Structure 1
Amino acid sequence: MPNDPVAPVFGVEESFFLVDTRSRNLPTQLPDGFLETARDAFREGFSQEMFQSVVCLDMAQPTLLEINEARACLLEKRTRLAAIAREHQLAPLCAGSHPFADWHVQVPSDDPHYQPLFEDQRMIAHRSLVCGMRVHVVVPLEIDRIQVMNRVLGWLPLLLALSTSSPLWNGRPTGLMSYRQAVCAEWPHKGIPEHFPDEPAFNAYLQWLMASGSIRREGDLAWCIRPSPRFPTLELLAADACPSVEDALCIVALFRALVSWAMVQDDGDLQDAPLQRLVLKENHWRAMRFGIHGMYLDGSGEASLSAGAWLARAYACFGELAESEGDDQAFVRGRHVLRYGSSADRQLLRYREALQSGLPRQQALVAVIDELIAETTGG
């Protein structure tokens, strides 16, 4: 790509837990001065999430053109956040869930933006102690974002499987590789999006939800993929937060290539036929449960294929386009994840090894956290 004007502009937003370096737990209140220092350092590129102990490095606009540019941006931001956190005996941890933090004692943030969510959703909101990554890909105004979304939907479980990083919750293995998605599924307007033929139909639904009091604002509609309410983009919300920058960039590049491919297709609404919705629902569950080790249904709903075979199909479908846009390393890294494991695999392996070495369960969980912090801040 690098100078290919056809390649769409993109942006990345990452969420982080702030871990107390002494206990490895999440503090219920942040140390005095941390928020002020972070806001001064990042300006509009920093915000507090739903809880005191969760922050986001976001963006004013999606402006990235190249994956190498995104790599430098993410590494610089993480390094800066880690330095500020260190001054306050904190460390950033980028993963879908904290392995043992107790959601019962976590305190909502002071941001008035989130207060209505706790009022409306009660325990569902209080349990949502999770971190994700958001990827924005700009879609030209003359292209219908919903039609692009319909073509992209069926591939999303593959991206979720590659990003899985939340196998541990409340001090124990959950049996899921993305427990974060199970938490998100409790919300009324998260998960797999409803079906719409085009963007006008989606906008009519959105306005009806707001007029009926079902949601307070457009951003409350937070499916695993959506037309962004902030930017002229298609926004991916399905992915767990990735401790490894290279894993994060893999998801970013695959999603951009996928959206680029979907924007030039001319197949009507075939990709969102009723059977495809059923296949998507089943594959979404399998990605949550098994991650890269799942067997996934193909478009017929009958044959099964491994995550590796599915990634190979993705390469056959839009790999050439990815290479033309400079995103070819996405498939190289995807194959690496399939061979050596996602973050969820690494966490479970570290946990088992620590237990087998004789460490008690709490210390085994601390070992996992130490590894996640090192991966988050080490790139």
Structure 2
Amino acid sequence: MTKQPERIFVKGNEAIARGALAAKCKCFFGYPITPQNDIPEFMSSAIIKAGGDFVQAESEVAAANMLLGAGAAGVRAMTSSSSPGMSLKQEAISYMAGSEIPAVIVNMNRGGPGLGDIGPAQGDYFQSTRGGGHGDYRHFTFGPGTVQEAYDLTIRAFDIAFEHRTPVLILGDAILGQMKEPITPWEPENIDEEGGRDWAIMGKTADREKRLVKSLFLLEGELAGQNKHLQAKYDAWTDLAEAEQFETEDADLIICAYGSIGRIAKTAVRKFRKEGKKVGLFRPITLYPFPAAELKALAEQGKRFLTIEHNLGQMLEDVRLSIRTVADSDFYPIYPGNLPTPDELEEPILNCLEGK
């Protein structure tokens, strides 16, 4: 009899931590903030057992700069936080992007602005996809919608971080982080833990020349050249853009939603389909790069669009930019502080279908 893959029942936060360990994460730098505390709690023991290091930093600023240091040494490392904590990490993330330092960063988005609340929201989309710190930069951003996807994308995040020498962000929220689902853990084969370290700061020796990792470029034309190099790298990521399409082939109306709202919208789509109404779902999995070409292809088929977000309209800009030459998108906001349900989405979807 063939042995079935192991299935375990875990929270989204724990799935991310387990995915990091499967990707051979060797350092975790954390600081407590709800709703991501399960990640450092799990890592505080699990990463030690796996032969790595855990540091309870004195602040979010410290944790982010520890991540910068580990990444500059070529170490597979991660930090996690939630919205206000992410704001404190932005300076270090800008330095990492400018220095081309690989790192994985998790943001379990909570309500805002300010301290807001500890409930789910999607108000950090701009910060996550535009480069939330100073200067012209982007980082690769995933928006998982299931616990299994949270596990899988964390593994991919480490691969992308080191292949492209960039910070990679995983953007979830309190729904994804606290929700429990069964997952099938797996481990990638043949991880090259030394890969990419031909550039890392590892100390000058008789056999190794001095290396420099920096984000300061003062010579005439030097910074312009670095920015041109970075932009070319970001442009090349377009080929890595990914989205889920659900019931879009014959749909008259496409719902655009990501993360936890994407899965809630899928429930609403299923209900409309049972009633014979042609509604589909477009759920971006990579938030940056945004899967613009896929979305534009749907627009060119004459479909209409409704963007639904747990914020006041952020991904909406990317949707409209993607389809701007052929279509537009209506918008329905779920105000942060409210908990969304599939029933809440039925009226705005029906209004769009009826052209109201």
So what's the TM-score if we normalise by structure 2? 0.28
Structure with a larger share of its residues in helix:
1
Bigger radius of gyration: 2
Structure whose residues are more often strand by fraction: 2
- Larger relative contact order (CA 8 Å, sep ≥ 6): 1
TM-score (norm 1): 0.27
